[in-house]
């Protein structure tokens, strides 16, 4: 008995030195404990969902296979350890095959300590022993086969072995490897499922894989591509898409500058020509609450700005995002009930022309004409193609009138000077006026304005008039 006790103590001490605290926990009240085995998956191992849509995921880690054991007083001289096997993703049939293999290993090594031998098998040989290969099929709850599996004692993961029930495995001779190892009629009572068979397994697999990847990353040393300092992964940030790594100190300063400047769409990898974006969780981890709130608000606003059917209420105290119906220029704010024109942002005016400022009209025209075809299509969707065309035409008309016409000083009618002298007559109110200084001229003697030495336009009746060769000939003394 003393020899068995000593052998048990030595074995437990050896296990504690081999595995860390996350992998091995020794029981306090008895000679026993728990070992968690994360199986070593081959590179590019994939999980595939089986259902209406087939989706593929790369995983590096699967939830552990757990061995709980208790050492009897006459172990290892006579009795084997009492144990249970549990898993989230294996079927009870597969775990039963593993239990039988552990029994076989004890029979082959009876009288010797066996826990390390079991550990080596469960950690390194399970995938090959069960014939589990990539891709690992997972049936998602809600698919056609899921209801049938609710009453089965197996979990929702389907490795490469296609069988679900032991009797099916016995009858089929096309998979002799599986038939030989999985030929019992009842699951071993030492097997335990760690989750409800009706639950969706895929999120559990992906979450565990993400956590384990982060643990591995945190324990490695990386060189920051900005400050070139060597730091642990726990002090670094890795962009998910490109896998470029930078220290958190550099990225915190980078994020803070971009968010303060309002460039929330530019929190991308600093590597030149790299378009990988930081996730919201990564940003939240590195900046304070106020700055993240600004980032979250601006990100939402920039996303809404890219939607052709969303505009903002023009009232300064409101600014609520408003959904606009297609082919209309009317928006109705859900917060303040303000009905407005989406083009001029004034109160809705129906089919009447927009009273839009010339500068705003010109800005809209220039933005449309300088945009890419995709950008022009977006603006047409947002404001309406008819409205855009009308704005462009009106803007060009305003520019042309501004460059080529002057307003009558009496009635404000646009007057274009085609030829002739600088004494003009309004086509609307028949008022005489000077084209040069826009002064109103006397109807009795309008030319006195150009003949009086005190007038600013003295002797300028034909100032600025181009006299070409033909006109010179017309006004020559020979023709007079």
Distance of alpha carbon 271 from alpha carbon 225, whole angstroms: 8
Residue closest to 378 by CA, chosen among 320, 310, 319, 322: 310
Structure tokens at 234: 């726990």
> Does residue 76 have a cis peptide bond before it, meaning omega lies within 30 degrees of 0?
yes
Distance of alpha carbon 342 from alpha carbon 312, whole angstroms: 9
Which residues does residue 84 pair with via DSSP β-bridges, in sequence order?
68
409 and 440 in contact (C-beta within 8 Å)?
yes
Strands of 97-205 (E only): list them: 136-139, 157-158, 191-193
206 and 57 in contact (C-beta within 8 Å)?
yes
Kindly report the CA angle at 140 between 240 and 48, in degrees rounded to 5? 50
Residue closest to 307 by CA, chosen among 380, 388, 378: 378
Q: How long, in residues, is the chain?
A: 480
Q: If 0-12 CB within 10 Å is exposed, 13-18 middle and 19+ buried, where does residue 397 land?
A: exposed
Q: Crossing angle for the helix pair 248-260 and 289-305, nearest 10 degrees?
A: 60
> Does residue 55 have a cis peptide bond before it, meaning omega lies within 30 degrees of 0?
no
Catalytic residue among 333, 421, 437, 457: 421
Distance of alpha carbon 44 from alpha carbon 81, whole angstroms: 36
Could you give phi then psi for residue 451, rounded to 5 degrees?
A: -100, -20
H or E, element range at 231: strand 230-232
Structure tokens at 472: 């010179």
Task: Please say if 421 is a catalytic residue.
Answer: yes
Residues annotated catalytic, as ranges? 421
């Amino acid at each position: 008995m003393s020899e068995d006790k000593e052998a048990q103590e030595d074995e437990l001490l050896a296990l504690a030195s081999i595995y860390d605290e996350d992998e091995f926990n020794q029981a306090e009240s008895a000679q026993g404990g728990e070992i968690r085995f994360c199986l070593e998956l081959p590179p590019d191992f994939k999980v595939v969902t089986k259902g209406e849509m087939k989706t593929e995921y790369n995983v590096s880690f699967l939830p552990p296979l757990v061995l709980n054991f208790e050492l009897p007083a006459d172990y290892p001289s006579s009795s084997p350890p009492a144990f249970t096997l549990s898993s989230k993703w294996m079927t009870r049939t597969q775990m039963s095959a593993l239990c039988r293999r552990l029994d076989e290993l004890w029979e082959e090594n009876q009288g010797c300590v066996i826990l390390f031998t079991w550990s080596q098998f469960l950690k390194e040989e399970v995938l090959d022993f069960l014939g589990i290969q990539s891709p690992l099929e997972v049936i998602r709850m809600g698919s056609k086969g899921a209801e049938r599996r609710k009453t089965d004692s197996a979990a929702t993961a389907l490795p490469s072995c296609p069988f679900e029930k032991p009797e099916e495995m016995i009858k089929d001779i096309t998979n002799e490897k599986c038939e030989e190892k999985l030929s019992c009629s009842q699951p071993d009572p030492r097997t335990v499922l760690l989750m409800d068979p009706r639950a969706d397994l895929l999120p559990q697999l992906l979450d565990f894989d993400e956590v384990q990847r982060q643990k591995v990353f945190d324990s490695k040393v990386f060189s920051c591509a900005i400050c070139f300092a060597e730091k642990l992964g726990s002090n670094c940030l890795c962009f998910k898409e490109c896998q470029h790594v930078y220290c958190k100190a550099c990225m915190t300063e980078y994020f803070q500058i971009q968010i303060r400047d309002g460039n929330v769409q530019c929190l991308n990898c600093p590597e030149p020509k790299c378009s990988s974006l930081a996730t919201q969780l990564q940003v939240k981890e590195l900046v304070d609450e106020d700055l993240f709130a600004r980032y979250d608000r601006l990100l939402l606003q920039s996303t809404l700005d890219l939607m052709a059917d969303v505009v903002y209420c023009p009232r300064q105290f409101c600014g609520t995002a408003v959904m606009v119906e297609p082919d209309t220029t009317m928006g109705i704010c859900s917060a303040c009930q303000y009905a407005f024109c989406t083009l001029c942002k004034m109160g809705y005016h129906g089919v009447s022309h927009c009273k839009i400022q010339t500068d705003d009209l010109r800005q809209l025209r220039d933005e449309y004409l300088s945009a890419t075809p995709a950008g022009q299509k977006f603006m047409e969707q947002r404001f309406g193609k008819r409205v855009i065309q009308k704005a462009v035409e009106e803007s060009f008309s305003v520019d042309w009138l501004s460059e080529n016409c002057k307003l009558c000083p009496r009635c404000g009618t646009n007057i274009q000077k085609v030829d002739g002298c600088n004494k003009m007559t309004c086509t609307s109110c028949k008022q005489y006026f000077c084209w040069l200084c826009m002064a109103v001229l006397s109807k009795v003697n309008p030319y006195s304005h150009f003949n009086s030495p005190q007038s600013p336009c003295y002797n300028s009746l034909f100032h600025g008039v181009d006299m070409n060769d033909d006109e010179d000939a017309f006004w020559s003394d020979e023709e007079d």
